[in-house]
Amino acid sequence: MKTIPLEAYLIVSIVLFGLGVFGMIVRRNLVTVLMSMELALNAVNVLFVGADSHLSLVDGQIFALFIIALAAAEAAVGLGIIIAIFRLRKVDSTDEITDMRG
């Protein structure tokens, strides 16, 4: 298990996180924006578990556990808001969310 250096996992984590944040900015569909946010949170989890296996501690895995659970909660609320938006205005793209200006 220690044959793979930690740097390799960190590079994977960075790539995932960068692409996740990039996806949040670039994607048009509201649901895929939320999905990219979950992607970024998965990247954070990879960092924590990788760090944990190197340091032989468990605190990082516990943080990753909390991140998984609370990301689920946030996704639930986000999807609820999307359903509410769609009911009110039948909109499904971030283009349409430009009511407020200034």
Residues 34-63 that bind other proteins (CB under 8 A): 34-63
Task: Centre a 10 Å sphere on the Cβ of residue 53 and count the other Cβ atoms it contains.
Answer: 16
What is d(CA 89, CA 87) in angstroms, rounded to the nearest whole number?
A: 6
What is d(CA 1, CA 54) in angstroms, rounded to the nearest whole number?
A: 9
What is the biggest distance separating any 2 CA atoms in the chain, rounded to whole angstroms?
Answer: 55
Quote the least distance from Cβ 34 to other proteins, whole Å: 8
| Per-residue binding letters, 1-40, with other proteins (x by CB under 8 A) | x-xx-xxxxxxx-xxxxxxxxxxxxxxxxxxxxxxxxxxx
Quote the least distance from Cβ 75 to other proteins, whole Å: 6
What is d(CA 40, CA 17) in angstroms, rounded to the nearest whole number?
A: 4
Quote the least distance from Cβ 5 to other proteins, whole Å: 10
Retrieve residue 18's tokens. 């960068």
| Per-residue binding letters, 82-101, with other proteins (x by CB under 8 A) | xxxxxxxxxxxx-xxx-xx-
Size of the site for other proteins (CB under 8 A): 96
